[in-house]
Amino acid sequence: MKPIGGPGRPAGSRANRPRQADIARLAGVSQPTVSLILSGGSAAVGIADETRRKVMAAAEQLGYMPDPIAKRLAAGQNNLLGLYTFTATFPTEMSHAYHPFLVGIEQESAAQGYDLLMFIASSVTGERPHAEVLNRVRLADGCLFMGRHLPIREMDRLLATDLPVVYLGRHDDFGDRLPYVGADYVTATAEVVRHLAELGHHRILYVRELDDAISAVDREAGFRRGMAECGLPVDRSTVVRTDGSDLTADRLRGWYEQGVTAIVTEATDTDAAHRAVLTAAATAGYRFPEDLSLATLGAPEHAVPGPAFLSGFSVPRREMGAAAVRLLTGLIAGDPSLARHQLMSCEPMPGQTAGPAR
Residues engaged in binding DNA (CB under 7 A) = 1-4, 6-10, 14, 17, 19-21, 28-33, 35-36, 38-40, 45-48, 50-52, 64, 66-67, 70-71, 73-76
C-beta of residue 196 within 8 angstroms of C-beta of residue 293:
yes
CB of 106 vs a copy of itself, minimal distance in Å: 5
31 binds, options DNA, a copy of itself, none, Cβ within 5 to 8 A by partner type: DNA
**Of the two residues 5 and 350, which places its CB atom closer to DNA in the complex?**
5
CB of 58 to DNA, least distance (A): 12
Which partner in DNA, a copy of itself, none is near 33 (CB below 5 to 8 A by kind)? Answer: DNA
Cβ closer to DNA: 35 or 342? 35
**136, interface contact from DNA, a copy of itself, none, CB < 5-8 Å by kind:** a copy of itself
**Secondary structure in 3-state letters for the chain:** CCCCCCCCCCCCCCCCCCCHHHHHHHHCCCHHHHHHHHHCCCCCCCCCHHHHHHHHHHHHHHCCCCCHHHHHHHCCCCCEEEEEECCCCCCCCCCCCCHHHHHHHHHHHHHHCCEEEEECCCCCCCCCHHHHHHHHHHHCCEEEEECCCCCHHHHHHHHHCCCCEEEECCCCCCHHHCCEEEECHHHHHHHHHHHHHHCCCCCEEEEECCCCCHHHHHHHHHHHHHHHHCCCCCCCCCEEECCCCCCCHHHHHHHHHCCCCEEEEECCCCCHHHHHHHHHHHHHCCCCCCCCEEEEECCCCCCCCCCCCCEEEECCHHHHHHHHHHHHHHHHHCCCCCCCEEEECCEEECCCCCCCCC
| 36 vs 28: CA distance, rounded Å | 15
Q: Are 310 and 296 in contact (CB under 8 A)?
A: yes
Q: Closest approach of Cβ 57 to DNA, in Å?
A: 14
Task: Report the partner that residue 118 touches, choosing among DNA, a copy of itself, none (CB closer than 5 to 8 A by kind).
Answer: a copy of itself
Q: How far is the CB of 29 from DNA (least distance, A)?
A: 4
Rank residues 160 and 235 by Cβ distance to DNA and give the closer one.
Answer: 160
Instruction: Report the residue number, 79 or 107, with the smaller CB distance to DNA.
Output: 79
Q: Which does 135 bind (CB under 5 to 8 A by kind): a copy of itself, DNA, none?
A: a copy of itself
Residue 70 or 210: the one with the smaller Cβ distance to DNA is 70
Smallest separation (angstroms) from DNA to the CB of 78 = 9
Q: Which one of DNA, a copy of itself, none is in contact with 32 (Cβ closer than 5 to 8 A by kind)?
A: DNA
217 binds, among a copy of itself, DNA, none (CB under 5 to 8 A by kind): none
Q: Which is nearer to DNA, 22 or 291 (CB)?
A: 22
User: Smallest Cα–Cα separation from 317: which of 185, 193, 226?
Assistant: 185
Closer Cβ to DNA, 35 or 293, answer by number: 35
Binder of residue 7, out of DNA, a copy of itself, none (CB less than 5 to 8 A by kind): DNA
Nearer to DNA, 17 or 358 (CB): 17
Q: In whole angstroms, how close is the CB of 108 to DNA at the nearest point?
A: 24
Smallest gap from residue 47 Cβ to DNA (A): 4
